[in-house]
C-alpha cells in the first residue's frame, strides 16, 4: 500500500528499510518519503518507530490506518 503518494513509497518499502536498521532520516534520503507535500511524514515516522520497537506486524496495520488519512 502506498504511504507517500507524491513519491510512490509503499509501507513495505519503509518497513524493509527500517528492518535494515535505517532511521527515518536515512529512509527519507533513500526513498524520498515526505519530501514533497509532507502529508505522509507522521505516518512514515510512526511506521519506522513501530519497526524500531520490533513490532513489524503492528507497523503494517498502522500503515493501513495512516493511508486512509493520507489519501483524503
Residues within the interface to ligand FES (CB under 6 A):
4-7, 33-40, 70
Least distance from ligand FES to the Cβ atom of residue 11, Å? 12
Least distance from ligand FES to the Cβ atom of residue 3, Å? 7
Least distance from ligand FES to the Cβ atom of residue 30, Å? 14
Nearer to ligand FES, 29 or 37 (CB): 37
Distance of CA 46 to the CA centre of its chain: 7
Q: Are 25 and 57 in contact (CB under 8 A)?
A: no
Nearer to ligand FES, 57 or 72 (CB): 72
Amino acid at each position: 500500500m502506498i504511504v507517500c503518494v507524491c513519491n510512490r513509497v509503499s509501507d513495505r518499502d519503509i518497513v524493509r528499510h527500517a528492518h535494515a536498521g535505517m532511521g527515518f532520516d536515512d529512509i527519507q534520503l533513500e526513498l524520498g518519503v515526505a519530501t514533497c507535500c509532507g502529508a505522509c511524514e507522521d505516518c512514515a515516522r510512526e511506521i519506522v518507530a513501530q519497526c524500531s520497537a520490533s513490532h513489524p506486524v503492528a507497523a503494517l496495520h498502522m500503515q493501513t490506518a495512516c493511508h486512509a488519512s493520507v489519501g483524503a
